[in-house]
């Protein structure tokens, strides 16, 4: 997640107003959820995340040799799972960064002749903040939670759609670089897509899901009130999947990850889903954000629970997720 600057030292437990409590517990399950027989494999989640957040990647800072290794890893993953490049290659060069830097972008074409012209974007940023400048025993900011966890979940969902062909809409799989530099990767990509008259339906951006929350819902979305996405996801899963987190609104997290670049240009429902709630993880932008502190069963369960929702988003005959007026 893009740096929160002065916010983290000021964190305290939010006092919940009546309105916040109502939102936080609001779940609608008006229709029967889709049943998914596909099982996300815990071992695959573990192996993927362990390598992406390993010391070999040297903290994946944009423009470094470390993130180049991560880019090759992600390209190989997409190729292995028969996910085609969206552009001529998987690499989408950033237009707003001096050193060579790349988003990794694949596409899973929809199966419906008409709906495939519409796109769902599943995304996460694969960059992090690299190496500490001062001399110390551990200098590598591995970024396991931020955001190798999100990349791992998106990759698992990409594999699911590639294998099941269960998407009538086309799905753009995006791993962003430059998020930690000011959302540069997403800002660069949306300008190119806009010029192509890219037909965006919605974007689900996965951000920091490495550890669970101690709440009665699985995750929260940024910009809860901006659309009906939370309500529709809960309807699609039949679970208390998404809730309202007061801290998200207080710190305006909607504007702090790559969903905002897409919203700003397309004015469509573009939101980030997260389980980092300012109480459950002490190593934000810290060298101890490592694989060993990640909760692999939680990441697996998170991804599994989202599958009915992303499937329904990809197959619904009309665009049911809409902006609130």
pLDDT tens for 187-196 read 999 999 999 9
- pLDDT of 287 higher than 60: yes
CB atoms within 10 A of CB 321: 23
39: its two tokens: 């099982």
Residue 107 and residue 105: Cα distance in Å, rounded? 7
Q: Which residues contact 252 (CB under 8 A, 6 or more apart)?
A: none
Detail the DSSP E strand segments found in the chain.
84-85, 91-93, 102-108, 119-125, 170-176, 200-206, 219-221, 242-243, 270-274
Strand, coil or helix: 160: helix
33: its two tokens: 């959820």
Strand, coil or helix: 232: helix
Can you give the pTM of this predicted structure?
Answer: 0.92
Model confidence pLDDT, tens digit, residues 50-100: 999 999 999 999 999 999 999 999 999 999 999 999 999 999 999 999 999
Please check whether residue 314 is in contact with residue 167, taking contact to mean a CB–CB distance below 8 angstroms.
Answer: yes
Q: Considering the chain, what percentage of its residues have pLDDT values greater than 90?
A: 88
Model confidence pLDDT, tens digit, residues 155-176: 999 999 999 999 999 999 999 9
Q: What is the pLDDT of residue 33?
A: 80
Kindly indicate the confidence band of residue 34, based on its pLDDT and cuts at 50, 70 and 90.
Answer: confident
Kindly indicate the confidence band of residue 27, based on its pLDDT and cuts at 50, 70 and 90.
Answer: very low
Q: Considering the chain, what percentage of its residues have pLDDT values greater than 70?
A: 91
Q: What is the pLDDT of residue 1?
A: 73
Q: What is the pLDDT of residue 145?
A: 98
Which class for 107: exposed (0-12), middle (13-18), buried (19 or more C-beta within 10 A)?
A: middle
6: its two tokens: 């002065």
pLDDT, mean of residues 15-38 = 55
- pLDDT of 150 higher than 50: yes
Residue 23 and residue 21: Cα distance in Å, rounded? 5
What domains are there in the chain, each with its CATH number?
42-215+250-315 (3.40.630.10)
Q: Which residues pair with 122 in a beta bridge?
A: 173, 204
Q: What is the pLDDT of residue 31?
A: 62
Q: What angle do CA 129, 77, 180 make, to 5 degrees?
A: 15
Q: Which residues contact 106 (CB under 8 A, 6 or more apart)?
A: 78, 83, 84, 85, 86, 90, 158, 172, 173
């Amino acid at each position: 997640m893009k740096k929160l600057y002065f916010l983290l030292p000021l964190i305290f437990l939010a006092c919940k107003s009546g309105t916040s409590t109502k939102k936080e517990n609001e779940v609608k399950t008006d229709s029967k959820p889709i049943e998914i027989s596909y099982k996300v494999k815990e071992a695959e989640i573990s192996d993927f995340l362990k390598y992406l957040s390993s010391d070999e990647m040297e903290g994946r800072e944009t423009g470094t040799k470390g993130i180049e290794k991560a880019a090759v890893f992600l390209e190989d993953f997409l190729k292995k799972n028969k996910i085609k490049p969206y552009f001529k290659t998987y690499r989408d060069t950033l237009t707003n960064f001096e050193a060579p830097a790349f988003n990794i972008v694949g596409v899973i074409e929809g199966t419906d002749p008409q709906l495939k012209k519409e796109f769902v974007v599943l995304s996460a940023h694969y960059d992090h903040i690299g190496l500490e400048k001062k001399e110390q025993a551990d200098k590598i900011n591995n970024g396991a939670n931020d955001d190798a966890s999100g990349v791992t979940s998106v990759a698992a969902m990409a594999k699911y759609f590639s294998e099941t062909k269960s998407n009538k809409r086309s799905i753009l799989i995006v791993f962003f670089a430059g998020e930690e530099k000011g959302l540069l990767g997403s800002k660069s990509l949306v300008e190119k897509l806009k010029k192509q008259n890219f037909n965006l339906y919605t974007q689900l951006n996965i951000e920091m899901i490495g550890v669970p929350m101690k709440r009665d819902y699985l995750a929260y979305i940024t910009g809860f009130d901006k659309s009906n996405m939370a309500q529709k996801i809960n309807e699609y899963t039949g679970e208390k999947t998404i809730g309202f987190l007061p801290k998200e609104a207080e710190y305006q997290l909607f504007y702090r990850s790559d969903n905002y670049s897409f919203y700003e240009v397309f004015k469509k429902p573009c939101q980030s889903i997260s389980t980092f709630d300012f109480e459950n993880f002490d190593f934000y932008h810290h060298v101890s954000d490592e694989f060993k502190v990640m909760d692999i069963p939680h990441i697996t369960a998170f991804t599994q629970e989202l599958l009915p929702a992303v499937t329904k988003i990809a197959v619904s005959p009309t665009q049911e997720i809409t902006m609130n007026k």
